Amino acid sequence: MTRAAQLQSRVERIVGVVILLLLVLGPIGHTVFGSFWVNFILTQSLWLGIAAMSLIFLSAYGGMVSLCQVSMYGISALVLANVVTSGQTKGLHLGWDPWFGVVLAIAITTAIGLAFGALASRSFGIYFLMLTLTIAVLTNYFFGQVTLLSGFGGVGGIQSHTPSLIGNPNLQPDRLYYVSLVVGIAVYVLIRYIVRTPFGITLQGIRDDPVRMASLGYNVSLHRMIAFGFAAFVASLSGILYGWWIDTVNPGTVNLSSVIALLVIAVIGSLFRLEGALVGAFAYVYINNEVENHNWTVPWLGGTFNTMIGVIFLLIVCLSPGGLLGIWGSAFDWLSRHWKTTSPRLAAAAASGSEAVPPPVERTER
Amino acid sequence: MSAAEVLRRLPLALTVFGVAIALIYILFVTNAVPDSGIGNWRTTNFGSAVSDPSDFFYTVLDSVTFAGLLFIVASGFTLIFGLMRTVNMAHGSFFLIGGYIAYDVQQSMTTSSGFGLTSAQVGWWQWIVPAIVASAAVSVIGLGMQQGFLRWNQGQEIRQALITIAVSLILADQMIAHWGGVEKNIAFPNDVGTGTAFIKLGGLSYAWSRIFILLVAVGIGVGLWLWLHKTRIGMVIRAGVDDRHMVSALGVNVQAVFALSFLVGSALAGFGGVMGGSFAGLAPEVDGQWLLNALVVVIIGGMGSLGGAAVGALLFAFVSNFSGAYLPTTSDQCCTEYSVIVTFALLAFVLALRPLGLFGRPA
């Protein structure tokens, strides 16, 4: 590990612990975060972040930029809404137990994810991107047109049918927040664990060279399909939190703007690092909130939040494909180069610690 | 027959079987909505083709003409992809902005009070000039995007796709800021106008506007084919599709060829927007619909193949129109449209058999 990388990981650990402490302790008695922040900004960032983690998991470790993670959390929320609510005008309103709804939402979404994965796992790179986009838009039409399950108005009233653990998120926002936080941390740890298992290592091998992995005897399509199914599972968790948070699931949940919003979140954070999901989600939600509060419009061009976030998105894709975390990482790289040239003592120390590390290779898309 | 041979012939057999079932269903099985009650599983809007041939022919004509519009939009998309491997996710935005520009030009050329322009008020030039202006403007936008952002990312396909998504995000917001959320309509010229001109086809009366779309689409298809196969520049483009490094090594300015095909591809998107805006209207989110249409057509047909775009457009149009017209409507749940599910099934079926589409070739 280079000196800069060591320093970076040390700083990141400290920052991570501080943020985690803030997130855990901040809302208690509203010492740091007020209830608007907890309910609106942080909970939203968390469920969006979990959805973005499923996207980034596929992109960083599977080499698959998927645009249908929004559909996955939408499907999960729709299943939840259909199963748990009762007495609504739309949907199946089965009125079953809330926890059973959670289990069913996870199971059905994961199954659909595996099915979509079977379809998409043979496509690579740009074909995969387009295929998942097509799936996403068709899911949106499905929501709108199949009135048995949803229809244009969507299915509402989820908040009155939450488990007793959650209560009514409008009255007790802290509960949903802490559940989201726990789920978020669990998903993060789970993904970090999975990419170290033989399955995760194989998946990364497939990302780097599918042909070679196939000739080594690995079933490339199967691994990619399972990865897709796992990502759908992660997204389904996000969808349940979303359902509890938003109360009504309608086709707008999974429309093209939402698809692009999640992609923007992942790209702004970083397509190559899991932590990017939460950074991107927080940045997106925070900027959106600020723009709407202040009614900002783009000077002399017109347009509002989408133009601004579009320009930020464009700049990040052009200048730093690794997103905000990429900028953060290159700052440390710059620091290490700067040290080498200015201070011979530090440079020597850096050199002694930086042997045998190949230069970072630009990830090629196939 | 060996097992492998059976497996190899299975797709064809399945396809023939599926088409046969669908044909029998449409020709004989379906029933029209009864006078009382909601009918049964055989109840559809029109009834079977044998008992109601005119509606059947209308559905065929609708499918063919809609395929024309699909082809115009998808051909631009596939032209760009075939040569540069660039997926232009802003294609739908180019479609919509082309329509809006034509709308503005047409409004300024006619004595319109601002809205509700009908075909009776519009002559040929008041449609052709807006169409040309819009296509030219969109091709300039497309060229600008290609030169400004895509040129130096050549070969990084995902990054290029992300850039075009960013552009489409910005354009969509700008279009809402400038043209608002109310639907806008361009009017076809009077001679082929919607609701003003009809063509007699053996006792059936059919809208000229749809025939006009089809004729223009065929013209564009033939023109593109001649351009790609009978001219020198077309030869260079086809060579570039096969091996762009070799073409470049032979001394051809491949960047200029890229720019030209992006120009033409964007112009086709803009022109498609003029057609689509005259045919169905322009509103926010139409860009996403048409991006999806173009994607489905080229994914089915095979990316980069002009013939694939034509076949994909026909398949997509027939499947979506016929499933809309002939799938059972009986249900106490009003208005469920299953055509989207059938479209998805078509896509899944084609991709399961041929991951690169019907006429797609590996890069």
Q: How far is A120 from chain B (nearest CA, A)?
A: 9
Q: Is residue A364 part of a domain?
A: no
- Mean pLDDT computed over B173-181: 88
Q: Which residue has the tokens 């726990």?
A: A182
Q: Which residue has the tokens 């492998």?
A: B4
| ipTM topping 0.90 | no
Chain B residue with minimum CA distance to A302? B177
Secondary structure class of A114 (helix, strand, coil): helix
- Mean pLDDT computed over A105-114: 95
Among B74, B86, B185, B173, CA closest to B127: B185
Q: Is residue A113 part of a domain?
A: yes
Phi, psi of A61 (to 5 degrees): -105, -20
The pLDDT value recorded for residue A58 is: 94
B116: confidence class by pLDDT, cuts 50, 70, 90: low
CB contact under 8 A, A255 and B163: no
A360: confidence class by pLDDT, cuts 50, 70, 90: very low
Predicted confidence (pLDDT) per residue in A314-340, tens digit: 999 888 888 888 888 888 888 777 776
Which domain, by its residues, includes A203?
A: 40-254
pTM of the model: 0.86
Residues near A362 by Cβ (< 8 Å), separated by ≥ 6?
none
The pLDDT value recorded for residue B33 is: 65
pLDDT above 70: residue B78: yes
In chain A, % of residues over pLDDT 70: 90
- Mean pLDDT computed over B233-261: 87
Tokens of B338: 């299953």
Q: Is residue A67 part of a domain?
A: yes
What's the gap between Cα B339 and its chain centre?
17
Average pLDDT value over all residues in chain B: 84
**Checking phi first, is residue A95 left (phi over 0); if not, alpha (psi -120 to 50) or beta?**
left
Predicted confidence (pLDDT) per residue in A281-290, tens digit: 999 999 999 8
The pLDDT value recorded for residue A365 is: 43
Q: Is residue A270 part of a domain?
A: no
> Which of A258, A284, A311, A318 should one mutate to test binding to chain B, selecting the residue with the greatest count of B CBs within 10 A?
A318
- Chain B residues 205-264 with a CB less than 8 Å from chain A: none
CB contact under 8 A, A255 and B296: no
pLDDT above 50: residue A356: no
Which has more confidence, A90 or A128? A128
Among A44, A45, A65, A43, CA closest to A54: A65
Looking at the structure of chain A, the number of domains it has is 1
Contact indicator for A276, A283 with CB cutoff of 8 Å: no
- Mean pLDDT computed over B22-45: 69
Least confident of A4-13, A85-94, B102-111, B275-284: A85-94
Q: Which residue has the tokens 């991006």?
A: B291
In chain B, which residues have their Cβ closer than 8 Å to the Cβ of A148?
Answer: 331, 333, 336
A235: confidence class by pLDDT, cuts 50, 70, 90: very high
In chain A, which residues have their Cβ closer than 8 Å to the Cβ of B303?
Answer: 127
pLDDT above 60: residue B361: yes
The pLDDT value recorded for residue B28 is: 72
Q: Is residue A109 part of a domain?
A: yes
Instruction: Give A97: exposed, middle or buried? Use CB within 10 Å, 0-12, 13-18, 19+.
Output: middle
pLDDT above 80: residue A102: yes
The pLDDT value recorded for residue A322 is: 83
Q: Is residue A302 part of a domain?
A: no
B128 touches chain A (CB under 8 A): no
pLDDT above 90: residue B353: no
pLDDT above 70: residue A204: yes
In chain A, % of residues over pLDDT 90: 38
Give me the DSSP letters along B240-269.
HHH-HHHHHHTT--HHHHHHHHHHHHHHHH
What domains, with CATH codes, occur in chain B? 31-353 (1.10.3470)
Which among A137, A147, A267 has the least Cβ separation from residue B288? A137
Which has more confidence, A313 or B46? A313
Dist CA B315 CA B335 (whole Å): 24
Predicted confidence (pLDDT) per residue in A19-43, tens digit: 888 887 777 777 777 777 887 888 8
A211 touches chain B (CB under 8 A): no
Q: Is residue A195 part of a domain?
A: yes
- Chain A residues 231-260 with a CB less than 8 Å from chain B: 255-256, 260
The pLDDT value recorded for residue A142 is: 84
Contact indicator for A79, A85 with CB cutoff of 8 Å: no
A15 touches chain B (CB under 8 A): no
Least confident of A104-108, B307-311, B320-324, B326-330: B326-330
Q: Is residue A280 part of a domain?
A: no
- Mean pLDDT computed over A141-156: 79
Contact indicator for B354, B298 with CB cutoff of 8 Å: no
Highest mean pLDDT among A121-125, B190-194, B290-294: B290-294
In chain B, % of residues over pLDDT 70: 90
